[in-house]
Structure 1
Amino acid sequence: MTTLLETDAVLKRGLGELAMADPVMAKLAASGITPQLRKRPPGFEGLAWIVIGQQVSTASATAIWTRLRQILEPPTPGVFLRLSDEDLRTAGLSAGKVRTLRAVAAEVIDGRLPLDELHNHSADEAHDLLTRVKGIGPWTADVYLLFCLGHPDAFPSGDLAVQEAARLAYGLEQRPDAKTLTALAENWRPWRGVAAKMLWAYYRTIKSREGAPV
């Protein structure tokens, strides 16, 4: 079973091993860059929150989730499938997000998407299981694995902030695309998730110095 990122002790262990494997990560740590756990609930509730938050502001996502939770009690796949499209639209979900979450709910109920057992899989295997569901892309899968499940090796290589942070930290001429960043991240296994958190923390630090919103 994978050791999940559920405590500061595990995060500290991952940071220590990254620092030994990668001088740039060691330099970031020495400069005071400190990532946080920032976990959300696992299971259907956590995945639904991530889907709802796609391509909208945090404030909008929070408002939609608050309205949805008023009718989604408990927040389970079965209850979600019993809600009408009109109820979900009234809560603020787009047609695309309704389709995605209905697909997720059906896959969980049928046993094809074992959300409760993904921690027993490698990050790559769990990623593949999630992205087989129509509407769940690579970024959504990796963010769920990292922030809801706490998988230490999940790596959202398509995240623009992670890409930009890597460009700055490693002195690259241009922002690496997902394929390039995935290759770079091989040196961080089995702590790619901790490396992603480190890069997010570095990105926030740089932007705060620039006075830009983060």
Structure 2
Amino acid sequence: MQTTLPPPPFPEAPDWARAGIAALVAADPRFAGIEAAAGPLAWRVRQPGFPGLLRAICGQQISNQAASAIWKRLSGLPGALEPVGLLALDDATLCGMAGLSRPKAAHARSLATACVEGRLDFCRLTAMGDVEAIAHIAAVKGLGPWTAAVHLLFADQRADIFPPGDVALAASAAHLLGLEARPGPKLLVAMAEQWAPWRSLAARLLWHHWRFVTGRAVVEDG
């Protein structure tokens, strides 16, 4: 009897990313040992549009594990993944049932309102360059450059995005590069310039490295 193995929880990196990783490693050999030690890079992808940005809000300033738990509850609420439906949910639902903090519930409503009013246009977003796209998303109150960058990296799968102010990226860079202290946001962004045009892949590898070093599992839910 032939046993059918379940599909892996995360797909392999696409061909363009593997080519980009090879170019990144050639330019900066310090990335070469990450996958050898931590295993193949798990290719995390999020939903485009409103659900993807809502998922990014869940991850603001908390661990992946906590964000994943909140997202499971939030995404299971009827109407929550549509702007109009989310605006119909009160704090008792968003905070009490889903587990969002009150500030994050406000950020989610700000996002939904911007979508309903047309101030955030996902159709236009796809045609924008990285800097313009980050600014377009970050103009919505409660989102900001980190949330915008994370969304564009995972949902749009852009190749050259580096989320500013990410604590895990700073910790991973310090460990991998043998720095005495974690680089601050400005220094980290400046350091990442040497990894263009593959800064998104550098970020993915650094997150992968830090999960391995700290013994954390890969957690992602859409």
Q: TM-score, normalised by structure 1?
A: 0.82
Alignment of 1:196 onto 2:184? no
Task: After TM superposition, give the deviation of residue 56 of structure 1 in Å.
Answer: 4.5
Q: Is the 8 A contact 2:13 2:41 kept in 1?
A: no
Q: Distance in 1 between matches of 2:121 and 2:156?
A: 12
| Paired residue type of 1:9 | D
Task: After TM superposition, give the deviation of residue 62 of structure 1 in Å.
Answer: 4.2
In the alignment, structure 1 segments of 5+ residues that lack a partner are 1-5
In the alignment, structure 2 segments of 5+ residues that lack a partner are 1-11, 218-222
Match of 2:23 in 1: 17
Q: Is the 8 A contact 1:33 1:202 kept in 2?
A: no
Task: After TM superposition, give the deviation of residue 170 of structure 1 in Å.
Answer: 1.9
Runs of 4+ with deviation above 6 angstroms:
none
Match of 1:154 in 2: 161
Alignment of 1:180 onto 2:187? yes
Q: Distance in 2 between matches of 1:124 and 1:33?
A: 32
Task: After TM superposition, give the deviation of residue 58 of structure 1 in Å.
Answer: 4.8
Match of 2:53 in 1: 47
Match of 2:79 in 1: 73
| Paired residue type of 1:142 | A
Task: After TM superposition, give the deviation of residue 57 of structure 1 in Å.
Answer: 5.2
| Paired residue type of 1:132 | A
* Partner of residue 163 from structure 1, selected from 167, 170, 185: 170
- What are the residue-to-residue correspondences of 1:109-120 with 2, within 5 Å? 109-120=116-127
Give me the identity figure in percent: 39
| Paired residue type of 1:38 | R
Q: Distance in 2 between matches of 1:119 and 1:186?
A: 23
Match of 1:105 in 2: 112
Q: TM-score, normalised by structure 2?
A: 0.79
Task: After TM superposition, give the deviation of residue 171 of structure 1 in Å.
Answer: 2.1
Match of 1:125 in 2: 132
Q: Distance in 1 between matches of 2:207 and 2:88?
A: 38
| Paired residue type of 2:181 | Q
Alpha-carbon distance change, 206 to 87 in structure 1, aligned in 2, over 3 angstroms:
closer
* Superposition CA RMSD, Å: 2.5
Which SS does the other structure have where 2:155 is aligned? helix
**Matched pairs, number:** 205
Q: Is the 8 A contact 2:13 2:42 kept in 1?
A: no
Range with bigger deviation, 54-63 or 166-175: 54-63
Q: Distance in 2 between matches of 1:86 and 1:31?
A: 45
Q: Which one has the bigger helix percentage?
A: 1
Match of 1:141 in 2: 148
Which SS does the other structure have where 1:195 is aligned? helix
Alpha-carbon distance change, 27 to 46 in structure 1, aligned in 2, over 3 angstroms:
same
Tell me the alpha carbon deviations over residues 50-77 of structure 1, each in whole angstroms, 9 at most, x when there is no partner.
2123345555544443443343337211
